[in-house]
Structure 1
Amino acid sequence: MFKNKVAIVTGAGQGIGLEICRQLASQGTSVILNDVEESLALEGADKIKKEKGNCIPFPGDASDANFIQHMVDKAVSEFGKLDIAIANAGITLFGDFFDYKPDDFYQVLKVNLGGSFFLAQAAARQMKLQGNGGKILFTSSVTGHQAHKNLAAYSMTKAGVEMLAKNLVIELSSYKICVNAIAPGATLTERTMLDPTYKDTWDNLTPTGRTSTVTDIAQVAMFLVSPQSDQITGQTIVIDGGWSSISPSPF
């Protein structure tokens, strides 16, 4: 199903992005692994290579349109095509609404919205040129559905990428390009586990009784970029163990 496919995944040096890359590579996809931190990109790609996967690290700023085009060009020059683009890179800058700084606001917009928009644009251009369709996936968040304290700017961007997925149905369906989003809830990653109370807190708040893992999220991503989802486009799948249905606050 994924054999001989070519994918770009941004923000993939660790966490959800890395697990998506691992699963893609394990099933025969050649992967361009991006992360803004060079060390994470190199380490992530090395892990996948040790598992016999085909993966090229491509560190850099996934919010920069010129850099994004370089990634697409690299995929084509190295592997001859691009089949899958996953805009996973994102930043979370917490802050009280009354004191939120303009620099923080525009940085969140640039990475979360700009990076998603311009990766979709560059990937879709290449997919249109190839004429065989493709899959584009955005990473949203449950905070794009439910209010969360100190995340006004972040939540706005995540709701925005879901609307982008919906709007691109008009633009891309005639080229057999499907565009969807995933909206993870609380997930155990290297970053979230820096808080020693995170797992217990979210285990107790999640209706299924456990916090999501990166594997939980990656499995849904894999479905949405597979041929099994060819009739699904413009949609967002929430992966949160039911939290957003009742939305108990951790605060």
Structure 2
Amino acid sequence: MRFAEKVAIVTGAGQGIGFEIARRLASEGAQVLLNDVDTRLADEASARIRDQGPGTCQPLAGDSGDVAFCQALVGEAVARFGRLDIVVANAGITLFGDFLTYPPESFFRVMQVNLGGTFFLAQAAARQLQQQGSGGALLFTSSVTGHQAHKQLAAYGMSKAALEMLAKSLVIELSAYGITVNTVAPGATLTARTQQEPTYEATWQKLTPMGRPATVADIAQAALFLVSDDARHITGQSLVVDGGWTSISPGPE
């Protein structure tokens, strides 16, 4: 029960990696405020986690790319649970497109959610953690595409690389308050979305040195370590969880 009496916010947690992080936090005793832009997904995910116990999980649907909503998330966590300890800024969007024809609306939407949402959620959370005076942990979800170029993902990869620089920058700003800031960078991962692609698993089995893509559990285990007291002297770092892919970086056809 590493997270007993801890309060956590997890964004983009209606399914996939975010859901598994929220589920595992709750299973180890945390009180979790689960966010997703889709109200149905947020409600259903929270209900599934509550049914499994033993932690608490409540939903709050909304667009984490909206600055006012980021502030509201923090306020709601404190209002419902009395404090805040952990924030996992996991929400993000991927909009593929050729660089030469990539539309401005796609570019700015990726930046709004992936960068703006993370930046302003971290800002609101850090203010609350500073006020509490007992430290805390911020974790951003980056990507291997922030380390190695991937076709048709210039904007997305750019946003993920920027999140890792944000974590490093916040070491200067937040260490004095006992707040750690790290990122986890998943490689190819089996989720409900990626498994809709018929060749996804077979392709990444061949391309990943460890012989398989990650599961959501692989990513969640790394994430929970980084927000736990076991990692209280780790900050400004990015933990790549990719089965070795970035070491050789073969791309799919």
**TM norm structure 2:** 0.99
Q: 1:120 aligns with which of 115, 119, 122?
A: 122
Residue 55 in structure 1 maps to residue 57 in structure 2: yes
Q: Deviations over 1:41-89 (max 9, x none)?
A: 0111011011023101000000111111111111111111000001000
Please report how far the alpha carbon of residue 163 of structure 1 lies from its aligned counterpart in structure 2 after TM superposition. Answer: 0.2
Match of 1:90 in 2: 92
Q: 1:159 aligns with which of 154, 161, 169?
A: 161
Identity of aligned residues (%): 63
**1:70 corresponds to which letter in structure 2?**
A
| Count of aligned positions | 251
SS in structure 2 opposite 1:34? strand
The gaps in structure 2 that reach 5 residues or longer are none
**1:241 corresponds to which letter in structure 2?**
G
Match of 2:104 in 1: 102
CA distance in 2, matches of 1:30, 1:68: 18
Residue 30 in structure 1 maps to residue 31 in structure 2: yes
**1:88 corresponds to which letter in structure 2?**
N
Q: 1:130 aligns with which of 132, 154, 173?
A: 132
Runs of 4+ in 1 over 4 A off after TM superposition: none
RMSD: 0.5
The gaps in structure 1 that reach 5 residues or longer are none
Match of 1:44 in 2: 45
CA distance in 1, matches of 2:145, 2:73: 29
Please report how far the alpha carbon of residue 5 of structure 1 lies from its aligned counterpart in structure 2 after TM superposition. Answer: 0.2
CA distance in 2, matches of 1:94, 1:43: 28
Please report how far the alpha carbon of residue 3 of structure 1 lies from its aligned counterpart in structure 2 after TM superposition. Answer: 0.3
**TM norm structure 1:** 0.99
SS in structure 1 opposite 2:9? strand
CA distance in 2, matches of 1:165, 1:95: 27
CA distance in 2, matches of 1:12, 1:34: 6
CA distance in 2, matches of 1:75, 1:197: 40
CA distance in 2, matches of 1:27, 1:86: 16
Q: 1:213 aligns with which of 204, 212, 215?
A: 215
Q: Deviations over 1:87-142 (max 9, x none)?
A: 00000000000000000000000000001100100000000000000000000000
CA distance in 1, matches of 2:59, 2:175: 30
